[in-house]
Amino acid sequence: MRLLEDGSSKVDESVYRSLIGSLLYLTTTRPDIMYAISILSRFMQIPSQIHYRVAKRILRYLQGTIDYGIWYKPTIDPRLFGYTDSDWAGSVDDMKSTSGYAFTIRSGIFSWSSKKQENVAQS
């Protein structure tokens, strides 16, 4: 999804920031929305109608998936697993990459991060 200034009318920045802040708070228990919210948070200074509509769509998604979340179930095998991934020049605006990691124990995730890299990867 490419989210750029689309020439549409601006959104009230304080309303947009409040909505994105609330969604960021929800990512502590709903990691499934983390990537989408991280993209939307890049437009806090100049949000447009398209950004606001995408944020509202995420709210509708959350309403339809209210039973999703992080569940920690007792298991016989309490091993720790770590996962990592990255893209290469995934941001079409500045060609910067995004990388991330996730750690799980038992049946639930307990630590994760996704970050847009500061430098452009050359190869």
Convert the pLDDT of each residue in 36-82 to its tens digit: 998 899 899 989 999 999 999 999 999 999 999 888 888 787 889 99
In whole angstroms, give the CA distance from residue 37 to residue 99: 15
Domain residue extents for the chain: 13-64, 80-114
pTM: 0.71
Whole-angstrom Cα distance, residue 14 to residue 5?
18
Q: How many residues are present in the chain?
A: 123
Which element (helix H / strand E) includes 100?
Answer: strand 98-105
Q: Is pLDDT at 91 greater than 80 in this prediction?
A: no
100: how many CB neighbours lie within 10 A of its CB? 17
**Helix crossing, 49-64 with 13-26: angle to 10°?**
30
Q: What is the widest separation between alpha-carbon atoms in the chain?
A: 55
Distance CA 106, CA 65 (A): 22
Q: Is the pLDDT of residue 4 over 70?
A: no
